[in-house]
């Protein structure tokens, strides 16, 4: 073994309804997400003063037989999905389509991105049984398309890439016919670590740029905008069939900066793009500077499609894994 890795993330929290606030319309099945106070929030996308939370930041509570069955399994077997532990607004929809996201390599990250709710600190040792555990979880849940992601493991000589590759192989072995997306960290741009992911041939390899160039140091303090682009270029140049990246809005970026980032990603030959609204995980995290309207998200979607992206998911509640199952085609 090249290195000792960290113990697996604690497996699943109960779905946290505290992220939801009942709509004033009692007849409606819609619920509104709790957001940080809009005090002092401004931005270049809208002149509206947000004395109230934007009406478009709302989601339906998860319902349906498929969701209920998966929820029961997750709670009974304490399965780890980032969908539930992160209270994803699209969980019901994704689970209903047989898609779920699993986080590996622990729940403590070596980086301290200003937007992320994952703990920062010194990770524990790696659980070498984790690949099998994740594969069994996916089998129990009868997942058709799995998205795998992880914390950054800059503390490890291999950056966690060995566990990454073993996880993909274990999932394939126990779940014949499954398709996968691997949402990877940058592995510090080290090619031999990236090659381990490429060699196990997930259907989609994604790496999120997260924000525009000017704000990268503030939003992703240990990352580099250029390195993320280089990673994405490398993946495509090595023959990866489908590459993907994600962008969050609401940090105070300008319209021109967003468009330039979209162009930079396409110049890196990225095939799939997700664009969503940043929502502050806690008061300790970066504040939301502006809420972007659905119309602006639609504008960015059109721009991205017009310059050659194969798939674009763009909307206030879009997250990296949203509609992930369709991105393989």
Which pLDDT score, from 0 to 100, does residue 321 have?
Answer: 86
Say if 7 falls within a structural domain: no
Residue with the bigger pLDDT between 84 and 176: it is 176
CATH number for position 217: 3.20.20.70
pLDDT tens string 202-215: 999 999 999 999 99
What is the number of structural domains in the chain? 1
Which pLDDT score, from 0 to 100, does residue 70 have?
Answer: 72
Q: Give me the percent of the chain exceeding a pLDDT of 70.
A: 76
Say if 106 falls within a structural domain: yes
43, pLDDT greater than 70: no
Strands 272-277 and 243-249: what pairing? parallel
Measured distance CA(252)–CA(100) in Å, rounded: 31
Longest dimension (CA), the chain: 58
Which pLDDT score, from 0 to 100, does residue 79 have?
Answer: 62
Say if 2 falls within a structural domain: no
Which pLDDT score, from 0 to 100, does residue 56 have?
Answer: 85
Q: What is the DSSP letter of 75?
A: H
pLDDT tens string 78-118: 665 666 545 566 666 766 677 888 889 988 888 988 888 78
> What is the extent of the structural domain holding 161?
17-328
Say if 10 falls within a structural domain: no
Which pLDDT score, from 0 to 100, does residue 5 have?
Answer: 34
Q: What is the DSSP letter of 14?
A: P
Say if 1 falls within a structural domain: no
Task: Tell me the chain's radius of gyration from C-alpha atoms.
Answer: 19
Return the top range by mean pLDDT from 43-52, 116-125, 146-155: 146-155
Measured distance CA(15)–CA(204) in Å, rounded: 28
């Amino acid at each position: 073994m090249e290195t000792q890795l960290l113990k697996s993330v604690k497996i699943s929290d109960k779905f946290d309804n505290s992220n939801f606030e009942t709509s004033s319309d009692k007849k409606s099945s819609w619920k509104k997400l709790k957001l940080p106070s809009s005090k002092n929030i401004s931005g270049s996308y809208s002149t509206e003063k947000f004395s109230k939370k934007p009406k478009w930041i709302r989601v339906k509570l998860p319902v349906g037989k498929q969701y209920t069955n998966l929820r029961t399994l997750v709670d009974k077997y304490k399965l780890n999905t980032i969908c539930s532990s992160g209270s994803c607004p699209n969980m019901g929809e994704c689970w209903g389509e047989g898609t779920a996201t699993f986080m590996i390599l622990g729940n403590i990250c070596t980086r301290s991105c200003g937007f992320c709710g994952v703990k920062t600190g010194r990770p524990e040792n790696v659980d070498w049984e984790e690949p099998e555990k994740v594969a069994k979880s996916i089998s129990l849940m009868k997942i058709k398309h799995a998205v795998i992601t992880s914390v950054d493991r800059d503390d490890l000589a291999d950056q966690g890439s060995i566990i990454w590759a073993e996880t993909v192989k274990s999932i394939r072995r126990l779940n014949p016919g499954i398709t996968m997306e691997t949402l990877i960290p940058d592995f510090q741009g080290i090619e031999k670590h990236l090659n381990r992911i490429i060699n196990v041939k997930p259907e989609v390899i994604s790496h999120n740029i997260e924000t525009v160039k000017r704000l990268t140091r503030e939003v992703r303090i240990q990352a580099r905008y250029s390195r993320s682009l280089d990673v994405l270029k490398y993946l495509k140049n090595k023959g990866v069939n489908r590459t993907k990246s994600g962008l969050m809005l609401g940090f105070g970026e300008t319209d021109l900066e967003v468009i330039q980032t979209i162009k930079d990603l396409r110049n890196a030959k990225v095939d799939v793009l997700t664009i969503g609204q940043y929502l502050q995980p806690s008061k300790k995290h970066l504040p939301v500077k502006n809420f972007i309207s659905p119309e602006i998200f639609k504008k960015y979607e059109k721009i991205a499609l017009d310059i050659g992206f194969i798939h674009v998911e763009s909307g206030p509640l879009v997250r990296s894994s949203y509609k992930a199952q369709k991105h393989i085609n």
